[in-house]
């Protein structure tokens, strides 16, 4: 019967632990099944070109006429393809000939503005995405056209390489390292203590078979075998709680990693910013806002044809917000001089209800101002003198240094008699002013940075954007720039130089994905726990490299797939909630591990003393297992407990070395009261002089009660560094579960189930005695705790 009960107890432990882990693993699996699927598409391919035939503007039309439509899957390296507005780029290609080609590569870089691409490349560019003659699969053509040669297709493309990183085994995280260290420490602890118990028991009792069974029971009792279930249940509850705060947790271990991070790296675009270009200023040369200026650029953007870039969209939105919705109704479009790469400007000719014509030109400020001989200054139109031109150039420089993107606006409303307009009409214009744009920081970014600092997390910006724009964003979110390094400066540096650079600088610009991943790797090698927050396809590699990868609500599918945590709220303040919740969960896990190891060590120490003191075992193997099961059940409620505020203010990580002094100091304290219990039961109740089976069973039951009560109630002392019940109170689930387990322990020896485990209820007088022992133990534990904190400067 006893063997059956033992089997049921051990089986229950295994089933409870294994089932919960399996359920949580399956939940995580279904959450992560968000695979990115490329839709079958066609591409215009040119395969009938003679070998050695050059491609130029003169013969391009004839070559394009030879093109045919094929499925993207049939595309091969070396094929020529024709790209036009609206096309998805089906492979990594090199531009051979282009006409005003603009590419949207926001899916790769996170940069919302289109990039100009053409056959000529500047060899000084170090950033992969700055190569002017290379386009990557996954990007798209906004405007213009091109003939390109295929360099790589399918799995060999840059896009596929990034996507494949999701399926690769990620570097070991802080959580995994911590669990391994704690597990190794527990194994070593058990390998030392269990043989000692076996040898001592065997020599003293001369019954090696019983000694072996008893030592195995001690091994089970010594090890927190419910650790996987306690950890998983804590993490699962945390994931559920965080989901209510609009945080999706894909990997449960990421919760603890989030609480442990002391460095958060982020790609500026889409994370600290809205990834949405907005008009921030519109001024004339004398630095005055002018509504006519915004009216002119609004009309230009409204009437222009073709695909509007983000600047045009922001201009129209800004105009509508400033009551310009109906302005276009008073005009009709006469002609348009479209944008091209050489002129870098776009001109619209309009006519109002009185047949008055107006030519409106917008574009790169340097190009627009070259087309002007007059300027609007101090409320009137004056000649554009060299002094005013210097003032204009100074304004351009000043705005650029603030990281703003600029458009210049010019117009003409006299002598517009032509029926058709071309580039010749873009001269002798009136320069009206500057319209500036910026990717506006998220409103929550400023507060988030303050909260991160308050919680001991250092923020570093890792971006592919340029220095000026990044400095502007940092200034707007009040992020102090301790040091700024570009990707080009990182090339060729030795490992020791990188280790120093990543510590001394917090802003890194013009980085490619491999450089971002390298910075994360070096930070981790410097003993940091690193989180990375990104949103683009190019961030997938970096998200996998970090201890915890975080993506945001507007991230690409691949970035979300590569991440561990997804913030569904546009507000970044939920990130701070996640960090605090991660630390709270880890604190509760740490409570279970440290308290359980200390308590179990005290029990083993008491057993060793008992083996040398009296002739029988202080508790039977089945009773040790059942006591351990009841204690572990009581610890499920720890997931609902509070954690001290001081613990939440600093990054928290696994530290196996802290557990040994905690166990060796606090564990033997319980042994003092165990030995007191032995003396009372053995001497006071006459068990030692008369060790009959009945008396030994009563002795075992008495220590079962005392051991379970001390283990369960000392949690109230050890769960906080403060004075329990006065400065810190446990939550009601912890209190209710503790009372339930204590009552079960007190009643069990007097029940049928207790009898099946050879328990005999002690005399009623024993109950107040054992309660007094438990109260004394709790009081001494509090005193020892205060001394421990003074010596080690920490508790948990």
Give 265's contacts (C-beta < 8 A, 6+ positions apart): 459, 460, 461, 462, 516, 519, 520, 523, 530, 531, 532, 533, 542, 546
- If one compares 380 and 236, the residue with the highest pLDDT of the two is 380
Distance between the two ends of the chain, CA-based, in angstroms?
42
Which pLDDT belongs to residue 35? Answer: 30
Q: What is the pLDDT of residues 576-634, one digit of tens each?
A: 888 888 899 888 888 888 888 888 788 878 877 887 788 888 888 788 888 888 888 88
Which pLDDT belongs to residue 515? Answer: 86
Which pLDDT belongs to residue 361? Answer: 95
Band the pLDDT of 307: cuts 50, 70, 90. low
Mean pLDDT of 84-112: 80
DSSP 113: S
Which pLDDT belongs to residue 62? Answer: 74
Q: Which of 92, 267, 275, 465 is catalytic?
A: 267
Cβ–Cβ under 8 Å, residues 723 and 782: yes
Band the pLDDT of 14: cuts 50, 70, 90. low
The token pair that represents 414 in the structure block:
């006299």
- pLDDT of residue 782 exceeding 70, the answer is yes
Residue entry with tokens 């599918």: 557
- pLDDT of residue 15 exceeding 80, the answer is no
How far apart are the C-alpha atoms of 437 and 433, rounded to whole Å? 14
Q: What 3-state class would DSSP assign to 434? A: strand
Band the pLDDT of 41: cuts 50, 70, 90. low
Which pLDDT belongs to residue 767? Answer: 92
Which pLDDT belongs to residue 5? Answer: 54
Highest mean pLDDT among 170-184, 663-677, 763-777: 763-777
- pLDDT of residue 438 exceeding 80, the answer is yes
Least confident of 109-123, 124-138, 744-758: 109-123
How far apart are the C-alpha atoms of 772 and 421, rounded to whole Å? 101
Cβ–Cβ under 8 Å, residues 736 and 702: no
- pLDDT of residue 11 exceeding 70, the answer is no
Cβ–Cβ under 8 Å, residues 232 and 21: yes
Which pLDDT belongs to residue 223? Answer: 66
Q: What proportion of the chain, given as a percentage, has pLDDT over 90?
A: 24
- pLDDT of residue 188 exceeding 90, the answer is no
Mean pLDDT of 284-307: 89
**Alpha-carbon torsion, ordered 206, 208, 210, 214, to 10 deg:** 110
Q: What is the pLDDT of residues 708-723, one digit of tens each?
A: 999 898 888 988 998 8
Which pLDDT belongs to residue 28? Answer: 43
Give 623's contacts (C-beta < 8 A, 6+ positions apart): 700, 701, 704, 757, 758, 759
Which pLDDT belongs to residue 38? Answer: 34
How far apart are the C-alpha atoms of 566 and 247, rounded to whole Å? 6
Band the pLDDT of 40: cuts 50, 70, 90. very low
Which pLDDT belongs to residue 21? Answer: 56
- pLDDT of residue 733 exceeding 50, the answer is yes
The neighbouring-strand residues paired with 509 are 486
Q: Answer positive or negative: Cα dihedral of 305, 307, 312, 317.
A: positive
Which pLDDT belongs to residue 139? Answer: 84
- If one compares 26 and 527, the residue with the highest pLDDT of the two is 527
Residue entry with tokens 């100009």: 116
- pLDDT of residue 165 exceeding 70, the answer is no
Least confident of 244-248, 258-262, 566-570: 566-570
Which pLDDT belongs to residue 17? Answer: 56
Which pLDDT belongs to residue 292? Answer: 92
Least confident of 131-145, 184-198, 411-425, 741-755: 184-198
Pairing of strands 372-377, 429-441: parallel
- If one compares 107 and 635, the residue with the highest pLDDT of the two is 635
- pLDDT of residue 768 exceeding 90, the answer is yes
Residue 439 vs residues 166, 298, 538, 707, 714: alpha-carbon distances, Å: 29, 19, 19, 63, 55
- pLDDT of residue 224 exceeding 70, the answer is no
Average pLDDT, the chain: 82
Q: What proportion of the chain, given as a percentage, has pLDDT over 70?
A: 87
Mean pLDDT of 402-424: 88
Mean pLDDT of 415-426: 86
Which pLDDT belongs to residue 49? Answer: 74
Pairing of strands 42-46, 140-152: unpaired
- pLDDT of residue 107 exceeding 70, the answer is no
Which pLDDT belongs to residue 499? Answer: 93
- pLDDT of residue 343 exceeding 50, the answer is yes
Cβ–Cβ under 8 Å, residues 104 and 110: no
Which pLDDT belongs to residue 357? Answer: 92
Band the pLDDT of 113: cuts 50, 70, 90. low
- If one compares 386 and 225, the residue with the highest pLDDT of the two is 386
Q: What is the pLDDT of residues 540-574, one digit of tens each?
A: 778 888 889 888 776 766 777 778 888 887 667 78
- pLDDT of residue 222 exceeding 80, the answer is no
- pLDDT of residue 429 exceeding 80, the answer is yes
Mean pLDDT of 273-294: 86
Residue among 359, 515, 505 nearest 432 (CA): 359
Mean pLDDT of 59-64: 74
Band the pLDDT of 523: cuts 50, 70, 90. very high
Which pLDDT belongs to residue 349? Answer: 93
Beta strands in 293-356 (DSSP E): 331-337, 345-352
Which pLDDT belongs to residue 236? Answer: 80
- If one compares 518 and 2, the residue with the highest pLDDT of the two is 518
Q: Is 267 a catalytic site residue? A: yes
Band the pLDDT of 2: cuts 50, 70, 90. very low
């Amino acid at each position: 019967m006893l063997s059956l009960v033992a089997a049921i107890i051990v089986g229950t432990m295994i089933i409870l632990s294994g089932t919960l882990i399996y359920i949580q693993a399956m939940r995580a699996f279904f959450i992560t099944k968000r695979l990115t699927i490329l839709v079958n598409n066609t591409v215009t391919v040119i395969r009938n070109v003679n070998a050695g035939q050059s491609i130029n503007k003169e013969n391009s039309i004839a070559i394009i006429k030879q093109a045919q439509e094929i499925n993207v899957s049939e595309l091969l390296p070396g094929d020529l393809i024709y790209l036009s507005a609206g096309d998805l780029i089906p492979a990594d290609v090199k531009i051979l000939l282009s006409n005003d080609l603009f590419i949207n590569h926001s899916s790769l870089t996170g940069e919302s503005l289109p990039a100009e691409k053409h056959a000529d490349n500047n060899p000084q560019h170090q950033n992969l995405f700055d190569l002017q003659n290379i386009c990557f699969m996954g990007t798209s053509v906004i405007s213009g056209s091109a003939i390109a040669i295929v360099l790589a297709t399918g799995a060999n493309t840059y896009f596929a390489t990034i996507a494949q990183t999701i399926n690769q085994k990620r570097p070991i995280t802080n959580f995994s390292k911590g669990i391994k260290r704690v597990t190794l420490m527990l194994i070593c602890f058990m390998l030392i203590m269990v043989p000692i118990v076996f040898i001592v028991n065997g020599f003293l009792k001369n019954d090696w078979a019983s000694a072996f069974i008893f030592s195995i029971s001690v091994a089970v009792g010594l090890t927190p075998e419910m650790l996987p279930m306690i950890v998983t249940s804590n993490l699962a509850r945390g994931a559920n709680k965080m989901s209510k705060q609009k945080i999706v947790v894909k990997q449960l271990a990421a919760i603890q990693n989030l609480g442990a991070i002391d460095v958060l790296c982020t790609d500026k675009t889409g994370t600290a910013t809205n990834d949405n270009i907005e008009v921030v200023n519109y001024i004339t040369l004398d630095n005055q806002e002018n509504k006519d200026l915004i009216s002119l650029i609004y009309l230009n953007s409204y009437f222009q044809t073709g695909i509007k870039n983000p600047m045009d969209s922001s201009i129209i939105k800004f105009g509508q917000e400033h009551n310009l919705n109906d302005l276009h109704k008073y005009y009709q479009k006469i002609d348009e001089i479209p944008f091209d790469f050489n002129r870098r400007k776009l001109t619209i000719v309009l006519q109002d209800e009185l047949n008055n014509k107006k030519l409106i030109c917008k574009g790169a400020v340097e190009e627009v101002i070259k087309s002007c001989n007059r300027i609007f200054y101090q409320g009137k139109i004056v000649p554009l003198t060299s002094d005013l031109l210097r003032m204009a150039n100074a304004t351009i420089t000043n705005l650029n240094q603030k990281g703003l993107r600029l458009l210049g606006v010019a117009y003409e409303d006299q002598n517009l008699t032509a029926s058709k307009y071309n580039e010749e009409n873009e001269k002798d214009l009136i320069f009206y002013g500057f319209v500036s744009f910026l990717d506006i920081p998220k409103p929550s970014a400023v507060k988030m940075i303050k909260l991160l600092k308050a919680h001991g997390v250092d923020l570093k910006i890792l971006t592919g954007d340029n220095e000026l724009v990044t400095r502007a964003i940092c200034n707007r979110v009040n992020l102090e720039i301790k040091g700024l390094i570009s990707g080009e400066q990182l090339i060729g540096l030795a490992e020791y130089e990188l280790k120093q650079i990543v510590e001394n600088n917090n802003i890194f610009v013009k980085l490619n994905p491999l450089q971002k991943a390298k910075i994360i790797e070096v930070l981790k090698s410097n003993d940091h726990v690193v989180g990375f927050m990104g949103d683009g396809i190019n961030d997938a590699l970096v998200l996998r490299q970090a201890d915890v990868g975080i993506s945001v609500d507007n991230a690409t599918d691949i970035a979300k797939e590569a991440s561990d945590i997804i913030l569904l709220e546009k507000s970044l303040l939920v990130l701070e909630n996640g960090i605090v919740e991660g630390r709270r969960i880890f604190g509760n896990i740490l409570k279970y591990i440290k308290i359980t190891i200390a308590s179990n060590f005290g029990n083993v120490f008491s057993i060793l003393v008992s083996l040398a003191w009296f002739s029988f075992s202080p508790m039977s193997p089945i009773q040790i297992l059942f006591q351990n099961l009841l204690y572990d059940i009581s610890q499920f409620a720890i997931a609902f407990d509070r954690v001290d505020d001081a613990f939440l203010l600093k990054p928290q990580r696994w530290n196996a070395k802290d557990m040994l002094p905690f166990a060796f100091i606090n564990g033997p304290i319980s042994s003092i009261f165990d030995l007191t219990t032995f003396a009372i039961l053995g001497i006071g109740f006459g068990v030692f002089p008369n060790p009959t089976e009945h008396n030994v069973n009563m002795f075992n039951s008495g220590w079962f009660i005392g051991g379970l009560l001390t283990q369960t109630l000392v949690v109230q002392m050890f769960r906080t560094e403060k004075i329990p019940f006065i400065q810190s109170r446990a939550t009601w689930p912890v209190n209710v579960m503790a009372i339930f387990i204590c009552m079960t322990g007190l009643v069990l020896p007097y029940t049928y189930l207790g009898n099946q485990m050879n328990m005999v209820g002690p005399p009623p007088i024993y109950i107040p005695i054992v309660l007094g022992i438990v109260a004394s133990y709790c009081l001494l534990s509090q005193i020892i705790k205060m001394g421990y904190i003074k010596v080690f400067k920490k508790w948990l």
